[in-house]
A and B are shown apart, each in its own frame.
Chain A
Amino acid sequence: GQNIDQPTEMTATEGAIVQINCTYQTSGFNGLFWYQQHAGEAPTFLSYNVLDGLEEKGRFSSFLSRSKGYSYLLLKELQMKDSASYLCAVRDRTGTGGSYIPTFGRGTSLIVHP
């Protein structure tokens, strides 16, 4: 099984930088995903980390430390449209057929205010 922990809610100011942390405990780790989910919509893929280090994609960056079971999502130059839930998902080999299944955390609700 897995234990994924991320803060429930965060607030930040437009134009600022925010870091959303995710810690996890799992065996057979095979990657960590970050998804963005606006209210009433489906989750959309933001980033993927399988090796230690930082992955940068425009205003969004994601970091992974496998030894610490830790990841963060960094959002720069925040915009109002970034107000959403951010889901951390850890993939390991939990499927009955040996498949890799992503397991999601509860999500962090980010509120960006002017």
Chain B
Amino acid sequence: DAGVTQSPTHLIKTRGQHVTLRCSPISGHKSVSWYQQVLGQGPQFIFQYYEKEERGRGNFPDRFSARQFPNYSSELNVNALLLGDSALYLCASSSDREPFNSPLHFGNGTRLTVT
């Protein structure tokens, strides 16, 4: 079975531009979460979606938005990019909204560089 897949793997953008990152969860997984990981730090929670509805939002500005599609894939959008948005963006899927012992399964991430 395929794991969590993310695209693109690398991306270079200029300040002020917008970006769309894509994620396909493991087959059968209905919950998708997005995390931002800056070098040397742990992943920081951005969004969680379950059954196409937002179920959690981290402390990120409104420039960040996301959505989940009927096939449970997801997009993360970031508008008006800042240099500080440069990071590894990780998508993770899990099997249930409240996975009591279901871990997150991470994709390999999208490395975003803002110049």
Q: A: which residues have CB within 8 A of B?
A: 4, 30-31, 33, 35, 41-45, 48, 50, 87, 89, 94-107
Q: Which of B96-115 contact A (CB under 8 A)?
A: 97-101, 103-109
Taking a contact as CB atoms under 8 Å apart, the answer to whether A94 and B56 are in contact is yes
Number of cross-chain contacts by CB at 8 Å: 72
Write the chain B residue with the least CB distance to A97.
Answer: B55
Give the residue of A31, A42, A106 whose beta carbon is less than 8 angstroms from that of B106.
A42
Query: With A42-B90, A43-B90, A106-B41 known to touch, is A95 a contact of B48 (CB < 8 Å)?
Result: yes
User: Nearest Cβ distance between residue A75 and chain B, in whole angstroms?
Assistant: 18
Quick check: B104 and A99 within 8 Å, CB to CB?
no
In the complex, how many residues of chain B place their beta carbon closer than 8 angstroms to a beta carbon of chain A? 30
B44 cross-chain contacts in A, Cβ below 8 A: 104
Given A87-B43, A104-B42, A107-B42, check contact A33 B103 (CB 8 Å). Answer: yes
The distance in angstroms between the C-alpha atoms of A50 and B100, with both chains bound, is: 9
What A residues does B106 contact at CB under 8 A? Answer: 42-44
Q: Is B41 a contact of A95 with CB atoms below 8 Å?
A: no
Q: Which of B90, B98, B107 contacts A99 (CB 8 A)?
A: B98
On whether the beta carbons of A99 and B108 are closer than 8 Å, the reply is no
A96 neighbours in B (Cβ, 8 Å): 54-57
Contact between A100 and B54, CB atoms less than 8 A apart: no
